[in-house]
Every structure is written in C-alpha cells, then in structure tokens.
Amino acid sequence: MKKEEINHEKEKILEFSLDKFLKEGFFKTSMDAVASELHMSKKTIYKHFSTKEELVDAIVERFTSTVGNKIDKAINTEDDSLTKAFHLFEIMGSIAMKLSDTWVKDLQIHMPKLWEKIDEFRTKKAYKVLSNIIEQGQKEDMFVDKPAELIIHLFVTALRSIVNPDFLYYQKMNYKEAIQYTFEILFNGILTPKGKKQFDKIFKKAMQ
C-alpha cells in the first residue's frame, strides 16, 4: 500500500472516531463497532492504533490542536476586544455542541491523565486568550480599570467549573447555554458604559 493510501486510511479512522467518541463516549464503544461502521477490519484499525486508548489519545491531540488554531486565528486580528470575545464565544459554542457528557465523564473516569492534559491545555489557552482580550479592552476603555490578572482568573475559574457534567446535569442546561450565561454575567460585570454599548451591539444581536 502506498504512503498516501496509508495516511488516508489512518485519517479516515481518526476523523470517524473523533466524531463518534465526542458524541457517544469511548468506554462502551468497542473497536469492533468502529470497524463495522467504517466497513474495515479491526486488524486494519490496529495497524494504525494499537489500542483504543492510543486512538483516544490521538483524537484528543487532533481536537486540541484544531481548537487551538481556531482560537489563535480569531485572536490574532485587528478587531476590537469585544469582537474578539464574540469570536471566542462562537468557537466555544461550536465546540460545546460537539461534546457529550459521556465523552467528558469517560475521560475523567477512565483516562484521568489525559483529562488532566486537556484541563492544562484549556487553562493555559484561556489565560493567554483572555489576557489578550482584557488588556486590549482596558486600553480601548471597553473594560473597567481593575486588576487584569484578577479578572482573567475569575473568567478561567468560571469556565473550568461549568464544563462539568455533574454541574450541568443538576442545573438542567447544556454546555452552550452555560458558556453563554457565563460570558454575559462576567462581561457585564467588567464593562464600561462604552463597553456595554458595544456588547449590546455585538452579543445581544447574535443571541436573538
């Protein structure tokens, strides 16, 4: 088999499994089921991924890399701080729509080291991105002149807390709703009159 065909085969497995595992979780999904739905032998899958855990690890690597690139692209623009914040919200909302409680719980319970890796990634990325937005917003007089580090810490802590299946279950809301409410509550608490006007223009129109 040619190298291009091998790469295509591996990519097909990875893309299919990413979509399936994010929606259904991976613990109760067998490699037999993956092979059957892909119309390929289990031996072929094991040629590329020797265990299901290795496949999950590759999925997480792909997912975090893709998300990271999307966020960087949205932030590294000439837009004002609230427009950047809105783009960040859109990205997080689209991610939230793809995640199931089962996927998150499977990671937390069955692959805790990998979950720690994801948590570290999202925490570092959140600090970097929010630092960019908050500091720019203060220069633009969109955000109040309060310690940027404290504001960023509050945002990161809140966002980490809500991406928790147990919290969402008891609050009867989904990931996207939780992210939306968090953005609205926290941003309204740090906006200047100028910022509130821009926030209403950008965010509230998009929520309609």
Q: Is residue 182 part of a domain?
A: yes
> Does 5 score more than 90 pLDDT?
no
Q: What is the pLDDT of residue 164?
A: 65
Q: Is residue 1 part of a domain?
A: no
> Does 168 score more than 90 pLDDT?
no
- Token pair 């509230």 in the structure block, residue: 204
Q: Is residue 132 part of a domain?
A: yes
Q: Is residue 41 part of a domain?
A: no
Q: What value does the mean pLDDT take over residues 72-76?
A: 92
What sections of 99-174 are H helices per DSSP?
101-110, 112-139, 148-162, 165-171
pLDDT tens, residue by residue, 114-129: 999 998 998 899 899 9
Question: What's the rounded Cα separation, in Å, for the pair 67 and 77?
Answer: 17
Domains in the chain: how many in total? 1
Q: Is residue 192 part of a domain?
A: yes
The domain of 190 spans 51-207
Q: What value does the mean pLDDT take over residues 16-40?
A: 94
Q: Is residue 188 part of a domain?
A: yes
Q: What is the pLDDT of residue 165?
A: 61
pTM, 2 dp = 0.82
Q: Is residue 190 part of a domain?
A: yes
Q: Is residue 63 part of a domain?
A: yes
CATH of the domain at 177: 1.10.357.10
